[in-house]
Structure formats: C-alpha cells, structure tokens
Amino acid sequence: MSKLLSDTISGDSVAGHVSLQPDRKHDPHETRFGKFCQACITFKGSDLIVKSDTVPKIRLKGSLKALDTEIVSAEEFVQIAKHILDEEQFADLHKFGSVDFAYDYDAKNRFRINLFQSRGKLSIAARLITANIRRFEDLFLPPVMAEISMQPQGIVLLAGVTGSGKSTTIASMLNYVNERKPVHIVTIEDPIEFIFEDRKATIHQREVGIDVLDFKTGLRALVRENPDIVLIGEMRDAETFEAALHAAETGHLVFGTIHASSASQTFQRIYDLFAPDERDQVRKIMAYQMRAIVYQKLLPTLHPDIHRMPALEILINNPVVRKYILEQRESELLDVMKSQEGMGIGMIDFNGSLVQLVEKEHIHTRVALEATPNPDELQMRLKKLV
C-alpha cells in the first residue's frame, strides 16, 4: 500500500488520493473490496464510501479522499454484493432497497456496512470498527474519568449530540475497567462502535439487528447473562431507560448515552420519556443511582496534529447534588458544578472547561465563544485570564 499522494484544496472542500492497486492473482471482486477496506484501515479512515461508476473514497479527519484506483462499475458492484452478502441479505436488498450487516476484515477490524440502492445503482457506506481504543490521556479526558469508570454500581450517562465522541469516551471507560477488574461486561449496541478484547474482564458485545433482534429483546435477556457492567447504547425511550435504572438498582454499573445539550438538561430529557405520574419515582431513582453525567462537545484545536478536542461538563453525584434532584431543582445544578469546581471532586461546568482549553492554548477564543451557551459569562471569565 503506497503513501498518501497530494492533497488539493478547492474552495472549502478537500480532495486527496490514496494509491491503491488491485491484486489480480485472486478473485477481483473479493480482493478489490478487500483492498478498499485495507486502505481505510491502513490510513486510519473512519468510513469507506463506494458508489457505482465512481472512485471509492475514505473519510480522513472528516474529509473524503478518493482512492487512486479505477471506478467500480455498476456491473462489478453487483458481483461484489453477491460475494459479501448471503442469500437472505441479498433478498432483503431486493425487497427493501438496503441491507445492514457486519463485514469482518480480520480479528481486530470489522466494518458496519449499509449496502443500498441509489437511483437504481448500488452504493456502500461502511464504518470502520476497530480494537484500537484510546486511553483517557490520548482523548484529553481528565483523570476523574477513571474514578467514574470504576464505580461499583449505579448509572453513568454520556450526553451530547451525534458526533460528539460519546461512544469513543465510553469505550475508553469500559476498556479502563477491562484492564483492571475481573468482571463480566455485556453491551447492547446499535451499532457496535469498537471491538473489545478480553483482558481482566470478560466482554460480550451484542449488536442490534445482527446478534439480537432489537433492544427490547436484548434488555430482557440481560438478567440471564449475569453481567456486572452493562452498556445499553443510546437511551431512546422509556422502556430502555427503565431497564437501565432497574439494572442500576439491582447492583449493576450501567453506562449509556443520551442526546442532551448539558448535564442538567439531561434530567429533563429523561423525565420527558415517562408519563407525568411516573416522573417522581424516576427522579428518586436518579437521585440515588446516578453516579455521573458527562456532557461533551468536540471542538477544533489550535494544534495542527490534533484535529478535535472535547470540552466537558461533568456532574458527579454527592449529597448536595442528590438534595437538589430530590427537591426538583435540577435546573440549578449548574450553580452546584460551579461552586464545587476546583475542590478536587472532578466537577466542572461547560464554561469552566472552555476557559481551561483557552488558557492552555488548546482552542481559539473565537471557538470557545461559538460553543458556549452563555457567551457573556464566558467573556467575563476569560477577561480574568488577561
């Protein structure tokens, strides 16, 4: 596999080429697609995009770069599909116009693939799933993440929008436990984002649609699988969150993700999943079982070799936080985080994190002001640095 060739910039788009020559010794439909996958792995791309009658592309640091190879014709694409799909999957492709499946490249790399029709021709969008799980320091996460990861039981939530790095952070947390505790970890994911290798822990990963029919089925089976630690992917509905709370109450440590724009807003997102007459009970369980809520957002950095870095908001449960939750004062938890910031507990509010990133010259002030929900307060805190 040759090195990256030239990058050319045109407007706001970035185009590039990766040298890729097919191996003609074997079946070309197998080896060409295999080499596309190999290129994505070799150059640490996040995704592989293959479209009929075009040159395949890989996504590097957010930008698509074309592979230096011939186009994949519509006829060749059909042969590739026949090779990588079984009969049932090929039938689903004809019936529904798309099919989801996992493609194992080797023991440490697999691709989550959606093969779909577009204007009557086939295309592939493949996400690379690797065993390369980065450590906290590599992700610029604070030391308190280790303490949160090693809780004996309870619920830990990662909040943020799509693409904010929640799955990457949870993978780092689970792997931290994996390297230190002889426990049984069971995950229910849609989809699997990282491949774990057993270290001290024993890990079972179940992917919705591949290893288990749906979240509901996977959640019902959890109690019979004897886990110590559970990852329940994204908290999308009341049933999923109710199962997570029940697992936390019965002595398990539960990790999950939720779409929310702050640690304190996470509570309202949770309560909104339930009927009004159920919310008080959910609030009480959260007050006693929640261990931490970590909200994060990835921001562009000033470092040429570091693409993005997380700004964090970390809420850690303690008697003060529990009191505010039970008194229905979740909207005031921001003040609690500010008051306890710097006390060695590990709590920090989002603006506090932005101030630290600016102070350490990791991000530009402009980036911080664009990211904050309260620019006036942030400007006041930044002025104190001058």
pLDDT of 152: 96
Classify residue 59 as exposed, middle or buried by CB count within 10 Å of its CB (0-12, 13-18, 19+).
middle
User: Cα(309)–Cα(64) distance, rounded to whole angstroms?
Assistant: 21
Element (H, E) at 58: strand 57-60
pLDDT of 25: 37
Task: Identify whether the C-beta of residue 254 lies closer than 8 Å to the C-beta of residue 155.
Answer: yes
Q: Residue 202: what residue type?
A: T
Q: Estimate the crossing angle of helix 74-84 against helix 87-96, to 10 degrees.
A: 130
pLDDT of 1: 31
Domains and CATH numbers, the chain: 4-130 (3.30.450.90), 137-348 (3.40.50.300)
pLDDT of 234: 85
User: Cα(223)–Cα(172) distance, rounded to whole angstroms?
Assistant: 25
The pLDDT profile of the chain, 386 residues, written as one tens digit per residue, is 323 322 322 223 333 444 443 333 344 445 689 999 999 999 989 899 999 999 999 998 778 999 999 999 999 999 999 888 988 899 999 899 999 888 888 888 989 899 999 988 999 999 898 888 999 999 999 999 999 999 999 999 999 998 899 999 999 999 999 999 999 999 999 878 899 999 999 999 998 887 898 888 998 898 889 999 999 988 889 999 999 999 999 999 999 999 999 998 999 999 999 999 999 999 999 999 999 999 999 999 999 888 899 999 999 999 999 999 999 999 999 999 999 887 778 999 999 999 999 999 999 999 999 999 999 999 999 987 76
pLDDT of 386: 61
Residue 59 CB contacts under 8 Å (≥ 6 apart), including other chains: 45, 46, 47, 48, 49, 65
Element (H, E) at 356: helix 350-359
pLDDT of 96: 94
User: Cα(174)–Cα(352) distance, rounded to whole angstroms?
Assistant: 26
